[in-house]
Structure 1
């Protein structure tokens, strides 16, 4: 009975809010979404983009199918409208003309899609295809470069897939169908990650279209998000070149959004007020090797640093001079597969040292900014298994102690900055494959569990790890961050959703994004409550801002 009353009160409050908003002229565009199958539809993402603009704004329909765009978010002009709801598409063209000081109204009709396969997310493909979780986990190595739809619609048999595996092992991890990059020299990547390639190839040949013209299994979609998940405004900023891959997006103190480009030698800056973008070319120091950057960090002087991947270098950008300072792997340590993608500078102020990870061999370096020399701490191992720590993400606390995230297994490693001794802590979920993350203001390490489907947190005071499982299956979180306002966030390369965790209650609120969004780094602006999330659409050449309304 109480839940019924609460829902009724919530609905009444929203209606009252909307009426008051209309009366005050605070809304620019309102309407309702319906379909013949469902009537009014909750949880539909409605997007508006003005002609000639690079910025689109999206809101989500409530339980009555209503949507409303605040006037402060839409300037006068002609707008194209789009809608996203799993299994549905807009029935006919939809547009609206907005005039200053007035409220435009438009209703949107949706119809069932004829080709559902073209609308599935990567996670929905994972849920649809038959097979064990162990078999499906192999595909978590594929979605970094392309969609799973490409695999499911292929006609390769097992032998064909074996050739594909061999070819994929020779590509740079920032490759896309628009811009593939071959690795140089003798460098290769382990795309099988210790699994049985032949068995995987045989299984894939049973779930793609190699044996029939359509799939022998039903295609499944996730239910639309409802309730609190509809209380959000999403702004998407198009970047000027479709080849731009905004891997990490971070705000500076002035509110500009900076991004690392996973497939090109640029550092980018975007003004959220105008959408204007400036790109700063990064020097190529290893000609002939793959180009692109990954980790983006800001130092205490508000200067950005990036890991320059297979250029085997890191770079600092001086914002005053607009010049880069480069540090490269010493020649005697370098190799064809040398890859400096991850750095840690949060604690650099305490001892003038920068932590660096070289993916080739898992070596951990420290750059001394006083002597300008690197030291090699070697590759750390798990004392229980004897296996090398497969670091994907290195982070430091204010004392410059370092944390390694063991993407090859399920460990968190803490390196003491003074003694260089390492302590290994296993995650509660075995083989969770932790990656990326951040040390929060309390000194706790937050991280994503890619295979554990969770946000994890290591508290150095108790030396305990806590996990919060993400509700959507096959979310495979890439990164995690926690703010000062009691919430943590993660994103996904598979679901087109971002997930917001209330740390105290352990409850998640998820938000659907307007279009396919391959998410890597998640950045939280916690200067307000609730905080604002910033992400890059790594395969969509855009930057996305997610603003919860409560």
Structure 2
């Protein structure tokens, strides 16, 4: 199969690289308000003007903050804070030099609390029981909950909105809605369409009851979660803004050379961030089907350093060689490439074992195994059609593939030698396992999306364990085990990263500086663990460094 050349080389640079810029000494200070005095658990962010890098620390129990030396560049620097219910009264900027600097920040009560709430705080605030509000998690796939809740739509308008949005691909956003080629509704029976309409009507009735239709303010109390304290305040967060607001960095990975790679969920883009300088390069991923939704979902590296992308509705996978900056595209054969095809997941990490690449097709709920040398594809169907949605893939050292069953509540494995398929139900029924990965001991960690748990399956004992993060409505999307035996996850609703000690069951939850919709999570194998993820709706990449 011939190589497909990259259609674009250097698309964008970070706004200003750190290289050659004088580094400021540490910035420290205090945060206080007239109402509370010294304020603990306030996130304080600093961004040198003209750069794409923002660094955040958290105030301690006495309201003090300090940025480590070497983390901020000298020059005019913007300051911002995050503390639900509070605004920064001042100062909003400082000029950093080679000498240590200090700032005394003063906060005042927020003028617009609704815009400060996380998605999880909105759901917690809304009236009704969990069953009434559970559907709202689906809204956060494409946007924040402020969109429907601050609207003035009535029931009929909300039904129309849901009908329209049901015709969009999952790879959509407010800035880039993408219409599906395959009409999901047209293929449903009349009974199924009627049942679907009743769901829309029930959800529309709830939204029209709680939003701002015919009222100027909400008739329920807005609840905020406590600010970070203790270990949750001992953290540094660094954010790198991407070149365009349309970027949706669904997957972020770090390669052994320290480079950070990302894909875009709604665009044919592969990008690379140099965290030492802030420099960003992007390449345009070849398009296979111009009429289909664009973007990729999975991004993983093989042992030889090639990067593999699941091209989703484009109907194939791509391999990128960072050394030659060339793509090679592997489209699905015609008999497998339908309008509904959605090759979301690709798993190349043990490709070297037998030359076989695992691919998941969310459109047909199938798992494919491709011989990279010949292009031959085997099809594995874990369930009879109609099948629940197979989701993520992760391989062990023998290239056996483990998979999650998002459509109900199972994990499974395909034996690479025999082709035998086995599945195991999670302890919590209908938990909807989403994404995950194997640790060094062969245990499979995954996010139980609907159940709100971190799950772990041990193939040796065929047993499960589950843990629930303390913040309500966390809904873990993915789980990454680290070298120390802890597990990390992110949320699309809480703007938090959770760190689990499985031996004690203790969680540490780190609040992030901005609204952050997290999908794939990644932890480095360095001596001190670093957590990486994309802000899927914020066009940025974040690095979180715990200080313990």
TM-score by length of 2: 0.92
Residue of structure 1 in register with 2:117 after alignment: 120
Contact 2:90/2:105 (CA < 8 Å) preserved in 1? no
1:180-215 Cα deviation digits (max 9, x unpaired): 111225356999989822222222221112353322
Matching of residues 373-452 of structure 1 within 5 Å: 373-380=376-383, 388-452=387-451
Q: Secondary structure at the match of 1:504?
A: coil
Task: Identify unmatched segments of 5+ residues in structure 2.
Answer: 1-22
The answer to whether 1:474 aligns with 2:477 is: no
Contact 1:27/1:68 (CA < 8 Å) preserved in 2? no
Range that drifts further, 158-167 or 83-92 = 158-167
1:442-480 Cα deviation digits (max 9, x unpaired): 111110111111111111111111111111000111110
Equivalent-residue separation in structure 2 for 1:441 and 1:195 (angstroms): 47
Q: Secondary structure at the match of 1:142?
A: helix
The answer to whether 1:538 aligns with 2:533 is: no
Count of residues in correspondence between the two structures: 520
Summarize the Cα distance change of 1:379–1:210 in structure 2 as closer, same or farther, 3 Å threshold.
farther
Residue of structure 2 in register with 1:280 after alignment: 283
1:288-308 Cα deviation digits (max 9, x unpaired): 111001100000011110001
Summarize the Cα distance change of 1:417–1:389 in structure 2 as closer, same or farther, 3 Å threshold.
farther
The answer to whether 1:178 aligns with 2:175 is: yes
Residue of structure 2 in register with 1:53 after alignment: 51
Out of 135, 140, 154, which is 2:151 matched to?
Answer: 154
Equivalent-residue separation in structure 2 for 1:487 and 1:203 (angstroms): 39
Higher RCO, 1 or 2 (CA under 8 Å, sep at least 6)? 2
Residue of structure 1 in register with 2:6 after alignment: none
Give how far 1:114 is off: 2.1
Out of 68, 75, 100, which is 1:103 matched to?
Answer: 100
Matching of residues 457-536 of structure 1 within 5 Å: 457-529=456-528, 531-536=529-534
Task: Identify unmatched segments of 5+ residues in structure 1.
Answer: 1-24
Residue of structure 1 in register with 2:37 after alignment: 39
Contact 2:24/2:74 (CA < 8 Å) preserved in 1? no
Range that drifts further, 81-90 or 341-350 = 341-350
Equivalent-residue separation in structure 2 for 1:430 and 1:292 (angstroms): 32
Contact 1:316/1:324 (CA < 8 Å) preserved in 2? yes
Residue of structure 1 in register with 2:273 after alignment: 270
Equivalent-residue separation in structure 2 for 1:110 and 1:212 (angstroms): 29
Matching of residues 8-23 of structure 1 within 5 Å: none
Contact 2:25/2:97 (CA < 8 Å) preserved in 1? no
1:297-355 Cα deviation digits (max 9, x unpaired): 00001111000111011100012221111111211122112110111122322221111
Residue of structure 2 in register with 1:74 after alignment: 72
Equivalent-residue separation in structure 2 for 1:141 and 1:543 (angstroms): 23
RMSD of equivalent CA atoms: 2.0
1:431-450 Cα deviation digits (max 9, x unpaired): 11111111111111110111
Equivalent-residue separation in structure 1 for 2:215 and 2:207 (angstroms): 13
Residue of structure 2 in register with 1:91 after alignment: 89
- The 4+ residue runs of structure 1 with deviation greater than 3 A are 185-195
Equivalent-residue separation in structure 2 for 1:199 and 1:261 (angstroms): 33
Contact 2:87/2:111 (CA < 8 Å) preserved in 1? no
Contact 1:171/1:188 (CA < 8 Å) preserved in 2? no
Equivalent-residue separation in structure 2 for 1:88 and 1:504 (angstroms): 37
Q: Secondary structure at the match of 1:237?
A: strand
